[in-house]
Amino acid sequence: MGNKLIVSNILHRPIRTVVSALAVAIEVAMVMLFVGLTHGMLDETAHRVEGVGADILVQPPGTSFLFALSQAPMPIKIGDRLKDLPHVLAVAPVLFNVISIQGLSVMYGIDMPSFVRVSGGFAYHAGGAFVNPYDLLVDDLYAKANHVKVGQTIQLLNHEFYLRGIVEHGKGARLFIPLQTAEDLLQVQDKASIFFVKCTEPSYTDDVSDAMHQLLPKYQVHPMKEYMSMMTSNNMPGLEACITVIVAIAVGIGFLVIFLAMYTTVTERTREIGILKSLGASKGYIIALILREADLLSAVGIIGGYGVAAVARKVILGVFPTLSVELTMEWAAYAALLALAGSTLGAFYPALRAARLDPVDALAYE
Amino acid sequence: MEPIIATRDLKKVYRLGKVEVRALRGVDCIVHEGELVAVVGPSGCGKSTLLHILGGLTCPTSGQVLVDGNDFTKMSDADRTRFRRHKLGFVFQRFNLLPTLTARNNIAIAQHIQGNGFNPHRFQAVVEMLGIQDKLDHRPYALSGGEQQRVAIARAVICDPKLLLADEPTGNLDTENSQAVLSMIRGLNKTFGQTILMITHNPEVAAVADRIIRMQDGRIISD
């Protein structure tokens, strides 16, 4: 019977119901999309680097594991010393740069033969490998996002590049140019930002990594597993705080909307609360009634929020194919719990106010 | 036999801003089980305040009020609420049905609040007695005043209360519906022995009662 009263109250005020549920839906979608976007981009970046196929990454001293934040190059000759170590199959020097063409994209300057040895080569969707110094490869997602085709010329680093091929995504960067050309344009001769190292067998990774530490004690040597474990939001400076702030804002919106909705509801229904009290409804019964109504509104909003998040994800990926949005069950559950907690808290004061109403005054309320 | 209502020197003083309103100025009254009592008097004589105190909706300022042997002045708000749930039924002048619920659910919610669950036999007997079988799926706005008051009576008696308190039950009804409601109230008293205390300012309504208590200026002037 309590449920019938709650449902009938919710249906009796459709505008209030829709607005409240919509606010909770936006709250849930906001949390899921923001977290999904940050985690998705991190995971996508990590998996792209992993997709190069290297077992070990070597970076210059004092650089960040976020490549985009660390472009300090190191002598390319180091690669020859690394190659001479036991169980090293191939070493690919890469000079990278972050370019801004319709958003930020990572570009690798690669030595094609060594990069192919480490990565196993590119899978071409169209075109083929570099022929000339100013040839460019882009991945399929970049091509889709920027509507480019093989044979086009693209302005990059103040030079015209010929788009020679479109490759399957997942090999470290979205754009690739020859290493020598990158060195010329970035005015760094015989330098590399990172070495991708492939071992003869993955089981030698730790041994090779130890040997590299001994050989280059000041350099950063990260086995791929270690690199992947570092690519989490916890390790991103300020990112966790940013997520917390966004989540707090979203929960705050839900809290305030539910508070306002339930506060006006209690005022509007003062007389009905008086009737329930005259029938012997306890304070607990009335509090539970208001909280359950708020939670039902919240539940409708949560389901709506899942729908909004799924649709928004499709739209985002359609408009920006290079982005990645991870909608996880874990964060769907967190968002639901946060929304429920927010709405319960938001409804608590109005519920308490309803429970404390004087029955005689409430029954006389016009 | 112990009376179902016993008040002694019952007083109630309200404060309206800085003004003190002495609504009850020492009411002594006894009502026994099975009685149909009408409390009459002009507006402002304190009859509604008396009903609210007897219903446990508000506390007296001083004096004693025993309902079914329970001293309301010594009971907490929660205890009086519990007592109201199990022992009292209310009928109001403005019907006071929950507008979003059907007549059926308006009646059933009293059983739900009481916590003993839905009793279909009792429910059927009450709706048949009040002649509202074909109105059960209507919401209050789709019912006439007389029908709404019958639903309200059904809600008040569905849990078989010890005492039914009626506050101007015909105040918002036309003559025909007033007669119908009064005959139902009378029927409840005569057929089921329901103790009823009804307040009214209308002497014709009071005439259906076995006993009439007259109030004026917060006191009982005749019984």
Distance CA B5, CA B177 (A): 29
Find out whether A365 and A274 touch, Cβ atoms under 8 Å: yes
Distance CA A41, CA A63 (A): 20
Q: How many CB pairs below 8 Å do chains A and B form together?
A: 74
Partner-chain contact A8 B101, CB within 8 Å: yes
Residues of B in contact with A280 (CB under 8 A): 81-86, 88, 113-114
Partner-chain contact A278 B84, CB within 8 Å: yes
Interface membership of B84 toward A (CB under 8 Å) = yes
Instruction: For chain B, 223 residues long, give each residue's pLDDT as a single digit of tens.
Output: 689 999 999 999 988 888 888 999 999 999 999 999 999 999 889 999 999 999 999 999 999 999 999 999 999 999 999 999 999 999 999 999 999 999 999 999 999 998 877 788 888 989 998 889 999 999 999 999 999 999 999 999 999 899 999 999 998 899 988 999 999 999 999 988 999 999 998 888 999 999 999 999 999 998 8
pLDDT at A232 over 80: no
Partner-chain contact B98 A5, CB within 8 Å: yes
Q: Residue B200 forms beta bridges with which residues?
A: B40
Q: Residue B57 forms beta bridges with which residues?
A: none
pLDDT of res. A103: 66
Joined together, the tokens standing for residue A260 give: 């306002």
Identify the closest residue of chain B to A13 by CA–CA distance: B100
Identify the closest residue of chain B to A283 by CA–CA distance: B78
Distance CA A111, CA A127 (A): 18
Partner-chain contact B58 A358, CB within 8 Å: yes
Q: Which residues contact A183 (CB under 8 A, 6 or more apart)?
A: A95, A109, A189, A190, A191
Minimal C-alpha gap between B77 and chain A (Å): 9
When pLDDT is cut at 50, 70 and 90, the band that residue A102 belongs to is: low
Candidate from B52, B98, B105 with C-beta closest to A275: B98
Partner-chain contact B88 A280, CB within 8 Å: yes
pLDDT of res. A2: 77
Residues of B in contact with A282 (CB under 8 A): 78, 81-82, 85
| Mean pLDDT taken over chain A | 89
Interface membership of B90 toward A (CB under 8 Å) = yes
Closest CA to B44 of B19, B62, B23, B25: B23
Joined together, the tokens standing for residue B124 give: 């059927």
Report pLDDT digits (tens) over A165-180.
Answer: 999 998 989 999 999 9
Interface membership of B72 toward A (CB under 8 Å) = no
Distance CA A138, CA A107 (A): 9
Find out whether B181 and B144 touch, Cβ atoms under 8 Å: no
pLDDT at A235 over 80: no
Report pLDDT digits (tens) over A261-314.
Answer: 999 989 989 999 999 999 999 999 999 999 999 999 999 999 999 999 999 999
H helix runs in B38-130, sequence order = 47-54, 77-87, 103-114, 120-130
Distance CA A76, CA A74 (A): 6
Q: Which domains does chain B have, with CATH numbers?
A: 5-222 (3.40.50.300)
Partner-chain contact B84 A279, CB within 8 Å: yes
From residue A328, give the alpha-carbon distance in Å to each of A27, A31, A310, A314, A331.
Answer: 16, 11, 11, 15, 5
Residues of A in contact with B100 (CB under 8 A): 5, 8-9, 11-12
pLDDT of res. B79: 94
Report pLDDT digits (tens) over A344-355.
Answer: 999 999 999 999
Residues of B in contact with A271 (CB under 8 A): 96
Task: Find the range with the poorest average confidence among A55-69, A129-143, A188-202, B46-60.
Answer: A55-69
Interface membership of A43 toward B (CB under 8 Å) = no
Report pLDDT digits (tens) over A41-75.
Answer: 888 888 888 888 999 999 888 776 665 455 567 88
Burial class (CB in 10 A: 0-12, 13-18, 19+), A346: buried
Distance CA A153, CA A161 (A): 5
Interface membership of A365 toward B (CB under 8 Å) = no
Instruction: Give Cα A33 to chain centroid, integer Å.
Output: 8
Interface membership of B61 toward A (CB under 8 Å) = no
pLDDT of res. A137: 96
Report pLDDT digits (tens) over A79-91.
Answer: 889 999 999 999 9
Interface membership of A158 toward B (CB under 8 Å) = no
Residues of A in contact with B81 (CB under 8 A): 277, 280-283
Supply the DSSP symbol for A193.
S
Partner-chain contact B92 A280, CB within 8 Å: no
Residues of B in contact with A4 (CB under 8 A): 101, 105
Distance CA A330, CA A216 (A): 41
Candidate from A8, A272, A282 with C-beta closest to B78: A282
B24, B113, B163, best to mutate vs chain A, most A CBs in 10 Å:
B113
Query: What percent of chain A has pLDDT above 90?
Result: 60
Find out whether A215 and A79 touch, Cβ atoms under 8 Å: no
249-308 of A, contacting B, C-beta below 8 A: 271-272, 274-283, 285
H helix runs in chain B, sequence order = 47-54, 77-87, 103-114, 120-130, 145-157, 175-192, 203-206
Interface membership of B86 toward A (CB under 8 Å) = yes
Minimal C-alpha gap between A299 and chain B (Å): 21
Minimal C-alpha gap between A1 and chain B (Å): 6
Identify the closest residue of chain A to B112 by CA–CA distance: A1
Closest CA to A323 of A310, A331, A314: A314
Hey, where are the domains in chain A? 2-43+238-364, 61-218
